[in-house]
Amino acid sequence: MKNIAAKIITVGALTLLPLTYSFAQGTSADGTKVMPAPLLMLDNFFAHHVLIAEKSTHSLHLFKNADGKPEFVRSYQMATGKKPGDKEAEGDFRTPEGVYNFVDFMTNKQLLAQSGPQGAIYGAGAFVTDYPNPVDKINKKTGSGIWLHSTNDETRIDKGLDSRGCVVTANNELIDVSKYLELNKTPMIVVQDLIYLNEKTWETQKGELKKTIDGWLDAWRKKDIESYISYYDQNDFVDSKGKYAAYKAYKKAVFSNPGQPKIDLDNLSILQAKNYAVVTFTQNYQSNTINDTGRKLLYLRQDENYNWKIVSEVWTKNGLENMGKLAFEPSLRFFKEGTREGIEIKKGNN
Q: What is the mean pLDDT of residues 317-341?
A: 76
Secondary structure class of 94 (helix, strand, coil): coil
The C-alpha atoms of residue 59 and residue 44 are separated, in whole angstroms, by: 24
Give the pLDDT confidence score for residue 324 in this predicted structure: 62
The torsion angles phi and psi of 126, rounded to 5 degrees, stand at: -145, 135
pLDDT at 325 over 70: no
- The rounded mean pLDDT for the chain is 90
Give the pLDDT confidence score for residue 317 in this predicted structure: 85
Q: Percent of the chain beyond pLDDT 70?
A: 86
Secondary structure class of 51 (helix, strand, coil): strand
Select from 25, 58, 54 the least CA-distant residue to 37.
54
User: What are the distances in angstroms from CA 175 to CA 36, 64, 100?
Assistant: 25, 17, 20
Residue 301 is assigned to a structural domain of this protein: no
Give the pLDDT confidence score for residue 126 in this predicted structure: 98
| C-beta neighbour count of 175 within 10 angstroms | 21
The answer to whether the CB of 295 falls within 8 A of the CB of 278 is: no
Give the pLDDT confidence score for residue 33 in this predicted structure: 84
Give the pLDDT confidence score for residue 40 in this predicted structure: 99
pLDDT at 17 over 50: no
Confidence of residue 289 (pLDDT cuts 50, 70, 90): confident
Residue 134 is assigned to a structural domain of this protein: yes
| C-beta neighbour count of 259 within 10 angstroms | 10
The answer to whether the CB of 40 falls within 8 A of the CB of 53 is: no
Classify residue 161 by burial, with Cβ atoms within 10 Å: 0-12, 13-18, 19+.
middle
The answer to whether the CB of 80 falls within 8 A of the CB of 161 is: yes
pLDDT digits (tens, 9 = 90+) for 163-192: 999 999 999 999 999 999 999 999 999 999
Confidence of residue 241 (pLDDT cuts 50, 70, 90): confident
Domain of 148 in residue numbering reads as 46-194
The C-alpha atoms of residue 154 and residue 265 are separated, in whole angstroms, by: 44
Give the pLDDT confidence score for residue 301 in this predicted structure: 98
pLDDT at 87 over 80: yes
The C-alpha atoms of residue 146 and residue 137 are separated, in whole angstroms, by: 15
Residue 164 is assigned to a structural domain of this protein: yes
User: What are the distances in angstroms from CA 31 to CA 3, 21, 201, 321?
Assistant: 13, 9, 16, 41
User: How many Å separate Cα 147 from the centre of its chain?
Assistant: 13
Residue 28 is assigned to a structural domain of this protein: no
Confidence of residue 32 (pLDDT cuts 50, 70, 90): confident
Instruction: Give 305 or 240, the one with higher predicted confidence.
Output: 305
Residue 272 is assigned to a structural domain of this protein: no
Instruction: Give 23 or 46, the one with higher predicted confidence.
Output: 46
For the ranges 8-22, 138-152, 243-257, 285-299, the lowest mean pLDDT is seen at 8-22
pTM above threshold 0.85:
yes
DSSP code at position 341: T
Number of domains in the chain: 1
Residue 178 is assigned to a structural domain of this protein: yes
The string of DSSP letters for 139-153 reads TT------EEE--SB
Q: What is the mean pLDDT of residues 211-217?
A: 99
Residue 283 is assigned to a structural domain of this protein: no
Select from 234, 217, 199, 219 the least CA-distant residue to 310.
234
pLDDT digits (tens, 9 = 90+) for 187-213: 999 999 999 999 999 999 999 999 999
pLDDT at 106 over 50: yes
Beta strand 69-77 pairing with 238-239: unpaired
CATH number at residue 127: 2.40.440.10
The C-alpha atoms of residue 286 and residue 343 are separated, in whole angstroms, by: 51
Give the pLDDT confidence score for residue 346 in this predicted structure: 65
Confidence of residue 31 (pLDDT cuts 50, 70, 90): low
The C-alpha atoms of residue 135 and residue 293 are separated, in whole angstroms, by: 24
The C-alpha atoms of residue 181 and residue 187 are separated, in whole angstroms, by: 9
Q: What is the mean pLDDT of residues 133-152?
A: 98
The C-alpha atoms of residue 171 and residue 199 are separated, in whole angstroms, by: 36
Annotated active-site positions, please? 149, 166
pLDDT at 328 over 80: yes
Give the pLDDT confidence score for residue 314 in this predicted structure: 96
Residue 70 is assigned to a structural domain of this protein: yes
Give the pLDDT confidence score for residue 80 in this predicted structure: 98
Q: What is the mean pLDDT of residues 60-89?
A: 98
Confidence of residue 22 (pLDDT cuts 50, 70, 90): very low
Give the pLDDT confidence score for residue 321 in this predicted structure: 73
User: How many Å separate Cα 310 from the centre of its chain?
Assistant: 16
Q: What is the mean pLDDT of residues 206-232?
A: 98
The C-alpha atoms of residue 164 and residue 226 are separated, in whole angstroms, by: 45
The answer to whether the CB of 104 falls within 8 A of the CB of 172 is: no
